[in-house]
Amino acid sequence: MKKKIIILPGDGIGKEVTTEGKKVLEKIASSFGHEFEFDEAVIGHDAIEATGNPLPDETLIKLKNCDAILFGAVGHPKYDNDPTLKVRPEQGLLKMRKELGLYANLRPIKLFDELLEASSIKPEVLKGSDILFFRELTGDVYFGEKGRKDDGNTAYDVMIYQRYEVERIAHKAFQAARTRKKKVTSVDKANVLESSRLWRETVQEIGKQYPDVQLEHQFVDSAAMKLIQNPRSFDVVLTGNLFGDILTDEASQIAGSMGMLASASVGDKVGLYEPIHGSAHDITGKGIANPLASILSAALLLDISFGLKEESEAIIKAIEQTLKAGYRTTDIADAKTSKEKILNTQAMGSYILKQLSQAHVAVS
Ligand code: IPM
Ligand code: MN
């Protein structure tokens, strides 16, 4: 298979982890006889420094002309600590999602058995958890009208949803549920918000087309509680942009660490794959970031954008074996992990490659 992939490292540890994700994609190409052509582009803080624009036109053109994107993260503490700055790295990410029509963000929360102890939640509560979030990505307060009133003391962000935006992501969630445990939990705040009432009404309507899928509704506050009280009660979770952003960070604890969670953003055409973690400037440059979320993002890319199931599963298997052998990055290490088994970012990536080589020798 011949494909063009853009690597978009972004800021902070984004660069460190995508280097490992790319290494794994190269390895898959050589082992399975594919031809992946790679190109890079800038986004976020680095792009602002170089061009004044967090998503330069040159980057956007490249993104519109490729088969898939492996993205790292954007952000910089300089902006977090100064809310008055008008041009911000995150605007690059939001514009990219909008321009590429990436309306559905899939965030699988799957716990590797070996990491049961790494979570702050009790193992008996966690065991067997397997949740797939569908977070809507191009609507909500993120893209509604925003501004300040003339008095300077009033600010607003409008929470807005249109019926078609809810319909298209609802279809995706129900279709995915059909391939899983056939349950969709739609999360909203319909007891208070009008946009949530439109959300709920629309999801109920679409649900009628999937009578084989069980549909339940939860308010976001209650869902936040139930996620850690009984994570096994969820299968597919369908929710809006802001609620999805918050709930998936919370749900990352079910998988042991933010460093383990990958995501796929899909929609009109090209797919974008990225860890759910941010640029993490507090650990940037130390070489200790967990590259597994980026490597898992590469696995999602192969599966969803290219339909390469076997290749994708080979990566997941390699990760399982690595964890089984006791190797950890610091974020997923527990009291029992010996010092020799703690790997830095690059060593973790290389160990995964080694596992992939062995697996390939074993099958061929
Ligand atoms: C995410 C991030 C982004 C979001 C930020 C960086 C704009 O937190 O992808 O979850 O809020 O969507
Ligand atoms: Mn987030």
Q: Quote the strand ranges of 97-163, DSSP E.
A: 104-110, 130-136, 146-148, 155-157
Count of other CB atoms within 10 angstroms of residue 204: 13
Give 156-162 contacts, CB < 8 A, sequence gap 24+.
159/193, 159/195, 159/242, 160/195, 161/136, 161/195, 161/198, 161/199, 161/240
Residue 305 DSSP symbol: I
Q: What domains can be seen in the chain, in order of their start residue? A: 1-102+261-364 (3.40.718.10), 120-255 (3.40.718.10)
Q: How far apart are CA 103 and CA 98, in angstroms?
A: 8
Half-sphere exposure of 353 (CA within 13 A, CB side): 18
- Two tokens, residue 229: 């009280």
- Two tokens, residue 195: 């946009």
The Å distance, Cα 248 to ligand 2 centre, comes to 7
Residue 363, pLDDT score:
55
Location of structure tokens 């008996």: 124
Location of structure tokens 């998936």: 248
Q: Which atom of ligand 1 is nearest to the CA of 263?
A: 9
- Of the candidates 359, 283, 361, 349, the residue with the CA atom closest to the CA atom of residue 22: 349
Residue 99, pLDDT score:
96
Count of other CB atoms within 10 angstroms of residue 358: 11
Residues belonging to the active site: 142, 189, 221, 245, 249
- Beta 68-73 vs 271-275: how paired, if at all? parallel
User: Which ligand lies nearest to the CA atom of residue 249 in the structure?
Assistant: 2
Q: Whose CA is nearest to atom 8 of ligand 1?
A: 245
Ion ligand 2 nearby residues (CB, 5 A): 245
Q: Which atom of ligand 1 is nearest to the CA of 74?
A: 6
The Å distance, Cα 93 to ligand 1 centre, comes to 8
Q: How far apart are CA 186 and CA 266, in angstroms?
A: 19
Model pTM above 0.85: yes
Alpha carbon dihedral 153, 157, 159, 164, in 10-degree steps, equals 150
Q: Which atom of ligand 1 is nearest to the CA of 274?
A: 9
- Ligand 1 proximal residues by C-beta, below 6 Å: 75, 90, 93, 245, 276, 278
Q: Which atom of ligand 1 is nearest to the CA of 90?
A: 7
CA-CA-CA-CA torsion sign (253, 255, 256, 261) = negative
At 318, which amino acid appears? A
Residue 230: phi, psi to the nearest 5?
Answer: -150, 70
The Å distance, Cα 178 to ligand 1 centre, comes to 28
Q: Could you list the pLDDT tens digit for every one of the 364 residues in the chain?
A: 999 999 999 999 999 999 999 999 999 999 999 999 999 999 999 999 999 999 999 999 999 999 999 999 999 999 988 999 999 999 999 999 999 999 999 999 989 999 988 888 999 999 999 999 999 999 999 999 999 999 989 999 999 999 999 999 999 999 999 999 999 999 999 999 999 999 999 999 999 999 999 999 999 999 999 999 999 999 999 999 999 999 999 999 999 888 999 999 999 889 999 999 999 999 999 999 999 999 999 999 999 999 999 999 999 999 999 999 999 999 999 888 898 899 999 999 999 999 999 887 665 5
Q: Whose CA is nearest to atom 9 of ligand 1?
A: 276
Q: Whose CA is nearest to atom 12 of ligand 1?
A: 245
